[in-house]
Amino acid sequence: MPSDLNREPRTPGEPLLRVEHLVKHFPLTQGIIFKRTIGAVQAVDDVSFELRRGETLGLVGESGCGKTTTAKTLLRLEEPTSGAAYFNGQDIFRLSRGELRTARRKIQIIFQDPYASLNPRMTIGDIITEAWEIHPDVVPRAERSDRARDLLERVGLPGESLNRYPHQFSGGQRQRVGIARALTLNPDLIICDEPVSALDVSVQAQVINLLEEIQDEFGIAYIFVAHDLSVVRHISDRVAVMYLGRIVEIGDEDDIYEKATHPYTQALLSAVPVPNPEGREHRTRIMLEGDLPNPADPPSGCRFRTRCFKAQEKCAEEDPALIDRSGHGHPSACHFPEVLLSVGS
Partner 1 sequence: MSTLLPQADRADVPPAAHLLAVEDLTVEFRTRRGVVHAVNGVDFHLDERETLAILGESGSGKSVTAQAIMGILDTPPGFITRGAIRYRGTDVLTLREEDRRKVRGQKIAMIFQDALSALNPVFSVGWQLGEMARVHRGASRSEAKRAAIELMERVRIPNAAQRVGAYPHEFSGGMRQRIMIAMALALNPDILIADEPTTALDVTVQAQIMQLLAGLQDETGMGLILITHDLGVVADVADRIAVMYAGKIVENARVHDIYARPAHPYSEGLLASIPRVDQRGGKLEAIRGAPPSLIDLPPGCSFHPRCDYRRDNCTRDVPPLYEVSADRGSACHYWQEVLGAQ
Binding site for partner 1 (CB under 8 A): 62-63, 170, 172-173, 200-206, 208-209, 212, 227, 229-231, 233-235, 253-254, 257, 267-278, 280, 285, 287-288, 290-292, 344-345
Smallest distance from partner 1 to CB 79, Å: 27
Smallest distance from partner 1 to CB 132, Å: 29
Q: Looking at beta carbons only, is 137 or 291 nearer to partner 1?
A: 291
- Angle made by CA atoms 96, 72, 77, in degrees to the nearest 5: 45
CA dist 78 and 70 (Å) reads 9
Q: Looking at beta carbons only, is 63 or 96 nearer to partner 1?
A: 63
CA dist 215 and 38 (Å) reads 45
Smallest distance from partner 1 to CB 286, Å: 9
Q: Looking at beta carbons only, is 100 or 272 nearer to partner 1?
A: 272
Smallest distance from partner 1 to CB 61, Å: 9
The burial of 71, by beta-carbon neighbours within 10 Å (0-12 exposed, 13-18 middle, 19 or more buried), is given as buried
CA dist 140 and 152 (Å) reads 18
Q: Answer yes or no: are the C-beta atoms of 281 and 23 closer than 8 Å.
A: no
CA dist 237 and 223 (Å) reads 10
The β-bridge partners of 86 are: 18, 91
Smallest distance from partner 1 to CB 143, Å: 31
Q: Looking at beta carbons only, is 80 or 251 nearer to partner 1?
A: 251
Task: Report the candidate in 250, 271, 266 with the shortest Cα–Cα distance to residue 304.
Answer: 266
Q: Looking at beta carbons only, is 185 or 340 nearer to partner 1?
A: 340
Q: Looking at beta carbons only, is 18 or 174 nearer to partner 1?
A: 174
Smallest distance from partner 1 to CB 113, Å: 14
Q: Looking at beta carbons only, is 101 or 285 nearer to partner 1?
A: 285
CA dist 203 and 8 (Å) reads 44
- Between the CA of residue 191 and those of 27, 33, 40, 67, 148, what are the distances in Å? 26, 38, 26, 11, 21
The burial of 277, by beta-carbon neighbours within 10 Å (0-12 exposed, 13-18 middle, 19 or more buried), is given as exposed
Smallest distance from partner 1 to CB 115, Å: 12
CA dist 119 and 68 (Å) reads 22
Smallest distance from partner 1 to CB 43, Å: 16
Q: Looking at beta carbons only, is 73 or 270 nearer to partner 1?
A: 270
Q: Answer yes or no: are the C-beta atoms of 256 and 332 closer than 8 Å.
A: no
- Between the CA of residue 175 and those of 109, 122, 148, what are the distances in Å? 12, 16, 16
